Amino acid sequence: MNATLLAGVLSSSILSGTSLLYGTLGELIGERAGIVNLGLEGIMLIGAAVGIAATALTGNPYLGIVAAALAGAAANLIFAYVVIGCRANQLAAGLSLMFFGFGVSALVGRPFVGAVIAGLPRLRIPGLGGGSAGGVGARLLEYDILICLAVPTAILMWWLLFRTRWGLGLRAVGESPSVAYAAGRRPERLQYQALGLGGVLGGIAGAHLSVALTLTWAEGMTAGRGFIAIALVIFAKWNPLWAIAGALLFGGAEGLQLQLQAAGADVSPFLMNMIPYLLTLLVLVLWRWNRQSAAPAALGRTFVGVE
Amino acid sequence: MQRDIAAIWRLAAVRTAMASRWALVAAIALGVFAALLTAAGKDPLKAYLDTLVYVFGNAYGFSELVVRMIPLLLTAVAVALPTRIGLINVGGEGQLYMGAWLATAGELALSDQPAVILLPILTVLGFVGGGIWALIPGILRASRLVNETISTLLLNYVAPLIVSFFIFGPWRSPESASYPQSPAFVDAARLPIFFHSRVNAGFVYGLACLVLYWLVMTRTRWGLEMRAIAGNPEAARRLGIPVFRYVVAVMFIAGGVAGLAGMVEVSAIQGRLVSELSPGYGFIGFLVAWLAGSSARGIVLMSFLFAVISSIGDILQITQGLPFAVINILMAVILFIVLARRPHGSAAR
């Protein structure tokens, strides 16, 4: 592999890994509070469509990102109400959220099919000389704000979960809601907060795909990244810092495939497009082989209150 | 005598209550969906009326409902069967594509055979294609490696890529310049159709699968043992029930039934393998099975209901320029309402 290809793979693994990292963090925080959200794919689709729509309407990509984050939170709170407020089955409600996202994003995105938007601006990092280096170096050193904030967000999530009182309560709810309740926490309120924050991150994950990468809307454009992100939470052992590594690995798989296609490799694009899904399955298999699960103990259980 | 009458009255009251509850759910969902469409600048009332006229206005429109029910019946059975041992199969879409793929492979290899030989072979191939696709999650689950919900979801994205690989590559028909597809099936490979409509023998497959499903679940030792596994897998294992074999076999059969839907789609409807084979039948089948609570009669009713809802999607696509996927909103809202009203745990695994 020559240097240009390697640089290209690195650069595009960061580009496509960013969206995965936000998505993974969004799912992770909900799961830490004991709630599995299979609807992340739907949240990301809504984020992607709303991001494009708001950017096209206002002309400001930053507003597009904010709108996507709010839309993601709103959709996730519907899910939260169904699973926390009504105590519905989480898997079924998550899949309904997925269908909801398919539909809402198709409706929102429809008027913007073929619309051209100004993408999220790339920032030059002062002192690194990205602008003057030219060529590959410039591409490697110019990132939009969401890419720059991705790793700090992961660290912030880690700090929130493991170094604050709020995070301690959240994790306690994920392990045993009734014990957390007995210790004076409010499990349901913490779960709502976790899912609201998760929706914000999921919306941003979708918006980064559409507003920063493709710059167009296409129906179903997240193409299963939401499910890959859910698998990445398992890969990351429910730890935000490990999620960084996972997102880079899977972004790398996607990046490699894009670079090989760009380099004119004689492999069918359809076969190469399978790589991320098959790699996800493989990782899930390897992770389960010889490892005690690090999953929150009450993951997927419904908290029915304390008598 | 008096007690009988009282019992009949009670039953009638329960039925009416259930029917009115469903009517309420449908009304709320249609209302929410209408509000969203209005917000998007569309005319939902016109779409609803157009659908009614189209579906119930003449015999052809109604026959199209039956056509739509075929893949829903099959994909719903593919979901309902695994739920009976506590498995969640969300991979109907991928299994449908793989059934269609293997059936097409059979058609290409054996196109000189008469229909009496070809059609049974294609049916078996469709079943095997979908079955093998579900076997992967089945084995992974039975060996306690990967949860079947996530693996079936992931494989949904792989199967259409396999189909695309073949119709853009080795199977590409020379006549299809702009729109890649496989060569047209020979007449002997087309499932028979009835009454000058598109209603085809696939409906018989759907009903047969449903009857078999009901018989197995209610009248056989297998059904009993499956319920034991769903109740407590560990206890079932200790009783000597081969849980591993059940999980793998049930996933294979479920995938096979979804694969039949794919075989019917290429053999009876499309007449060739195309990349846009299904507008999400596998997913809609999941909703059908879930709302039906996996009961055979419920699946028939819900398939009919969702066939009508799908028709609203068609109408929106044709008359108001909206993507078909918009109809997912209506389906999701129905599921949300039902889940929110169901007491907790009843839909649990």
Give the residue from A226, A224, A225, A209 showing the smallest Cα distance to A52: A209
Instruction: Give the span between the Cα atoms of B257 and B77, in whole angstroms.
Output: 7
Between residues A77 and B29, the one the model is more confident about: A77
Neighbours of A134 (CB within 10 A): 10
Taking a C-beta distance cutoff of 8 angstroms, is the pair B265, B123 a contact? no
Per-residue pLDDT tens for A235-276?
A: 888 999 999 998 988 888 888 887 777 777 777 888 888 888
Cβ-based contacts of A304 with chain B (< 8 Å): 344
Surface-to-core class of residue B178, CB atoms within 10 Å of its CB (0-12 exposed, 13-18 middle, 19+ buried): exposed
3-state secondary structure chain B: CHHHHHHHHHHHHHHHHHHHHHHHHHHHHHHHHHHHHHHCCCCHHHHHHHHHHHHHHCHHHHHHHHHHHHHHHHHHHHHHHHHCCCCCCCCHHHHHHHHHHHHHHHHHHCCCCCHHHHHHHHHHHHHHHHHHHHHHHHHHHHCCCCCHHHHHHHHHHHHHHHHHHHHHCCCCCCCCCCCCECCCCCHHHCCCECCCCCCECHHHHHHHHHHHHHHHHHHCHHHHHHHHHHHCHHHHHHCCCCHHHHHHHHHHHHHHHHHHHHHHHHHHHHCCCECCCCCCHHHHHHHHHHHCCCCHHHHHHHHHHHHHHHHHHHHHHHHHCCCHHHHHHHHHHHHHHHHHHCCCCCCCC
Query: Which domains can be identified in chain A, with CATH numbers?
Result: 18-124+141-289 (1.10.3470)
What residues contact residue A239 under an 8 Å CB cut-off, 6+ apart?
A: A158, A294
Look at residue A237 in the predicted model and tell me its pLDDT.
86
Quick one: pLDDT band at residue B347, thresholds 50, 70, 90?
very low
Burial A226-250 (b: 16+ CB within 10 A, else e): bbbbbbbbbbbbbbbebbbbbbbbb
Candidates 3.30.70, 1.20.272, 2.40.30, 1.10.3470; CATH matching B30-341: 1.10.3470
Say yes or no to pLDDT of A138 above 80: no
Look at residue A45 in the predicted model and tell me its pLDDT.
96
% of chain A at pLDDT higher than 90: 38
Between residues B19 and B307, the one the model is more confident about: B307
Instruction: Kindly state the DSSP code that residue A301 receives in the 8-state scheme.
Output: P
Per DSSP, the three-state class of A157 is: helix
Q: How far is CA A263 from CA A1, A6, B208, in A?
A: 11, 12, 52
Amino acid at A192: Y
Interface test with A, best of B157, B172, B337 (most A CBs within 10 A): B157
Alpha-helix runs per DSSP H in A130-186: 130-133, 135-141, 145-163, 165-175, 177-182
Instruction: Give the span between the Cα atoms of B191 and B189, in whole angstroms.
Output: 6
Distance from CA of B50 to the nearest CA of A (A): 20
Look at residue A110 in the predicted model and tell me its pLDDT.
87
Look at residue A76 in the predicted model and tell me its pLDDT.
95
Which of B153, B154, B328 has its CB closest to that of A102? B328
Distance from CA of A142 to the nearest CA of B (A): 32
Instruction: Give the span between the Cα atoms of B321 and B304, in whole angstroms.
Output: 25
Residue of chain B minimizing CA distance to A225: B154
The answer to whether B339 contacts A104, with C-beta atoms less than 8 Å apart, is no
Distance from CA of A138 to the nearest CA of B (A): 35
Which of B164, B321, B340 has its CB closest to that of A270? B164
The answer to whether A103 contacts B335, with C-beta atoms less than 8 Å apart, is no
Distance from CA of B117 to the nearest CA of A (A): 33
Per DSSP, the three-state class of A18 is: helix
Mean pLDDT over residues B305-329, rounded? Answer: 86
Surface-to-core class of residue B109, CB atoms within 10 Å of its CB (0-12 exposed, 13-18 middle, 19+ buried): exposed
Residue given tokens 């052992």 in the structure block:
A237
Look at residue B58 in the predicted model and tell me its pLDDT.
83
Interface test with A, best of B93, B146, B281, B316 (most A CBs within 10 A): B146
Of B205-219, B300-314, B332-346, the one with minimum mean pLDDT is B332-346
Residue of chain B minimizing CA distance to A287: B145
Per-residue pLDDT tens for B164-193?
A: 999 988 888 777 667 788 888 888 778 888
Surface-to-core class of residue B216, CB atoms within 10 Å of its CB (0-12 exposed, 13-18 middle, 19+ buried): middle
Quick one: pLDDT band at residue B125, thresholds 50, 70, 90?
very high
Residue given tokens 């419904």 in the structure block:
A302
The answer to whether B150 contacts A273, with C-beta atoms less than 8 Å apart, is no
Per DSSP, the three-state class of A163 is: helix
Between residues B196 and B340, the one the model is more confident about: B340
Say yes or no to pLDDT of A286 above 70: yes
Per-residue pLDDT tens for B19-68?
A: 777 788 888 888 888 888 888 888 888 888 888 888 888 888 888 888 99
Interface test with B, best of A36, A38, A43, A96 (most B CBs within 10 A): A96
Say yes or no to pLDDT of A128 above 80: no
Say yes or no to pLDDT of B81 above 70: yes
Per DSSP, the three-state class of A125 is: coil
Q: Say what the ipTM of the complex is.
A: 0.85
The answer to whether B336 contacts A224, with C-beta atoms less than 8 Å apart, is no
Average pLDDT, chain B: 87
Which of B283, B329, B340 has its CB closest to that of A88? B340
CA angle B25, B318, B290 (to 5 degrees): 30
Q: How far is CA B195 from CA A289, B60, B198, B251, in A?
A: 55, 10, 8, 35
What residues contact residue B99 under an 8 Å CB cut-off, 6+ apart?
A: B125, B126, B127, B129, B130, B133, B256, B258, B259, B260, B261, B262, B263
% of chain B at pLDDT higher than 70: 97
Alpha-helix runs per DSSP H in chain A: 3-32, 40-58, 61-80, 90-109, 130-133, 135-141, 145-163, 165-175, 177-182, 187-207, 225-235, 240-262, 269-273, 275-289
Quick one: pLDDT band at residue A127, thresholds 50, 70, 90?
low
Q: How far is CA A277 from CA A44, A199, A271, B94, B261, in A?
A: 17, 23, 11, 13, 24
Residue of chain A minimizing CA distance to B275: A270
Output Rg (C-alpha) for chain A, integer angstroms. Answer: 19
Taking a C-beta distance cutoff of 8 angstroms, is the pair A303, A192 a contact? no
The answer to whether A224 contacts B153, with C-beta atoms less than 8 Å apart, is yes
Say yes or no to pLDDT of A133 above 50: no
Of A116-125, A223-232, B278-287, the one with minimum mean pLDDT is A116-125
Amino acid at B231: G
B122: its two tokens: 């294609």
Instruction: Give the span between the Cα atoms of A176 and A171, in whole angstroms.
Output: 9
Per-residue pLDDT tens for A81-113?
A: 999 888 888 888 898 999 999 999 999 988 888
Parse chain B into domains and list their residue ranges.
Answer: 30-341
- Residues pairing with B274 in the sheet: B181
Cβ-based contacts of B331 with chain A (< 8 Å): 99, 103
Per-residue pLDDT tens for A190-214?
A: 999 999 999 999 999 999 999 988 8
The answer to whether B155 contacts A104, with C-beta atoms less than 8 Å apart, is no
Say yes or no to pLDDT of B346 above 60: no
Say yes or no to pLDDT of A46 above 70: yes
Taking a C-beta distance cutoff of 8 angstroms, is the pair A101, A42 a contact? yes
Per-residue pLDDT tens for B137-153?
A: 999 988 888 888 889 99
Instruction: Give the span between the Cα atoms of A297 and B303, in whole angstroms.
Output: 37
Model's pTM, two decimal places? 0.88
Give the residue from B210, B163, B196, B189 showing the smallest Cα distance to B69: B210
Taking a C-beta distance cutoff of 8 angstroms, is the pair B96, B270 a contact? no
Residue of chain B minimizing CA distance to A275: B158
Say yes or no to pLDDT of B279 above 80: yes
CA angle B7, B8, B14 (to 5 degrees): 90
Give the residue from B93, B97, B106 showing the smallest Cα distance to B275: B97
Taking a C-beta distance cutoff of 8 angstroms, is the pair B87, B250 a contact? yes
What φ, ψ does residue A122 adopt, rounded to 5°?
A: -80, 135
Taking a C-beta distance cutoff of 8 angstroms, is the pair A270, B165 a contact? yes
Instruction: Give the span between the Cα atoms of A178 and A175, in whole angstroms.
Output: 9
Mean pLDDT over residues B300-309, rounded? Answer: 91
